[in-house]
Copies of this chain bind each other. A is one copy, B any other.
Amino acid sequence: MPNNHKENAKIFKAFCDETRLMVLSLLQSGEKCACVLLEQVNVGQPTLSHHMRILVDSGVVSARKQGKWTHYSISKSGSAKAKELLDLLTTVNESENEIGCCNE
């Protein structure tokens, strides 16, 4: 039983919260600094910072620090990995040794 499930779940945590999806959709038009995101998303500054951390930790978003500002953008490699993983998780390999139920 190989268990990278916990790690994989972390990647999809990025997408399973309303606020984070809002942030992602804002980042689709390109890199944004936190202050811009803060204006658009209806949460306080510490809450945004918390969500950005989850997004960055998932690998889907990357952060670039420039002076006072932190610029966030969608990571091409990170989102590619997420897509790849989603593919892996939902592919069905219907093999011959199929046991549908306990009594079949």
Contacts and interface: CB of A to CB of B under 8 A. Distances in A.
Contacts of A28: 89-93
Interface residues of A, number: 50
Given A8-B21, A21-B5, A69-B101, A86 B89 contact: no
A3, A20, A24, A29: which has the most chain B beta carbons within 10 Å? A29
A37 to B, nearest CB: 10
A30 B74 contact: no
Contacts of A12: 12, 15-16
Oligomer: number of copies: 2
A27 B92 contact: yes
A13 to B, nearest CB: 5
A81 to B, nearest CB: 10
B100 A31 contact: yes
A33 B98 contact: no
A1 B25 CA distance: 10
Nearest to A82: B86
